[in-house]
Each structure stands twice: as structure tokens, then as C-alpha cells.
């Protein structure tokens, strides 16, 4: 159904369509106390739109802190793992150097020293940190910092 034919070249048809449009506008004005639209309708739609926008902003605001906290935890955990790997590699290098030096000085005791170290490492593994569930302990570590 075509309400208005904008492509017509027939002047009579155009005039008829314009009159039909103006009569519809007049009828709407009559039904709305002389206004072509009501402020109530506009205000209701605006309030609904504002409410939806506010709800969306609240959802976004709630989402971001949780994501940031999770991202920070992951970065801290990765940093700890990297530090532990670097320390482990450094200790391993020092241990190899010590074993080589010991081997040069007294070849027979190197094997027993190495076995003792492996046995100690098995009995006393390096603890991995527990994953924090919140910000506990952050204030303690920050309070020991001094700004100069």
C-alpha cells in the first residue's frame, strides 16, 4: 500500500495527496488539543530511553572493575611465575658452576653433593602463591612503601 507517491508527475494527484496529508495533520491536532504530537508521549518515550541508557551504563560500570581486577590478578600471577623461573634459572647456573668447581677440587664428592641437593629440593618444593580472591594484603605491602 502506497500512502504517497512522491515520483508522480501528475499535478492533480500531488494536490490530492497534499490535501490528504493536511487533513490527517488537522485530525491529529484536533485529537491532541491543537498539537501535532503530545508532550506526554514525547516525555514518556524520553524517560524510557533515559532509563534504558542508565541501566546500560550501570551494567557497564559493574562489568569493568571485575574485569580490571581479574586482569590485574592474571598479570601479577604471570609476573610471579616469570620471577620464579628467572630465580630458578639463576640458582641452576650457580649450582652447575659450584658442581663444576667441586668436581675439579674433589671428583668423588660431587655426586653425593648433587644427590643431597636433589633430595632436599624434593622434600622442600618451592611454594606457588595462592590466587587472591580480592585485594587482601595489598594495603600491608603498600604501607611498607615510603615515598621520598
Question: Left, alpha or beta for 141 (phi > 0: left; psi -120 to 50: alpha)?
Answer: alpha
pLDDT along the chain (148 residues), means of 10: 73 88 81 69 82 85 76 84 83 76 63 70 70 56 52
| Cα end-to-end distance, the chain, whole Å | 79
pTM for this model (two decimals): 0.34
pLDDT of 81 reads 85
List the grid coordinates of 127. 611454594
pLDDT of 25 reads 79
pLDDT of 60 reads 77
Residue whose C-alpha is closest to residue 128's, from 66, 76, 80 = 80
pLDDT of 1 reads 46
pLDDT of 113 reads 64
Amino acid at each position: 500500500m502506497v500512502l504517497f507517491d512522491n515520483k508522480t508527475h501528475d499535478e492533480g494527484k500531488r494536490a490530492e495527496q497534499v490535501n490528504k496529508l493536511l487533513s490527517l495533520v488537522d485530525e491529529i491536532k484536533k485529537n491532541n488539543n491543537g498539537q501535532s504530537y503530545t508532550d506526554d508521549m514525547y516525555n514518556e518515550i524520553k524517560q524510557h530511553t533515559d532509563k534504558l541508557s542508565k541501566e546500560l551504563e550501570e551494567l557497564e560500570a559493574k562489568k569493568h572493575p571485575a574485569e580490571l581486577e581479574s586482569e590485574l590478578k592474571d598479570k601479577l600471577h604471570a609476573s610471579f611465575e616469570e620471577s620464579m623461573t628467572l630465580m630458578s634459572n639463576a640458582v641452576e647456573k650457580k649450582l652447575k658452576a659450584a658442581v663444576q668447581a667441586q668436581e675439579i677440587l674433589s671428583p668423588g664428592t660431587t655426586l653425593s653433593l648433587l644427590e643431597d641437593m636433589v633430595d632436599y629440593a624434593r622434600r622442600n618444593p618451592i611454594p606457588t602463591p595462592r590466587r587472591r580472591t580480592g585485594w587482601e594484603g595489598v594495603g600491608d605491602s603498600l604501607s611498607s612503601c615510603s615515598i621520598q
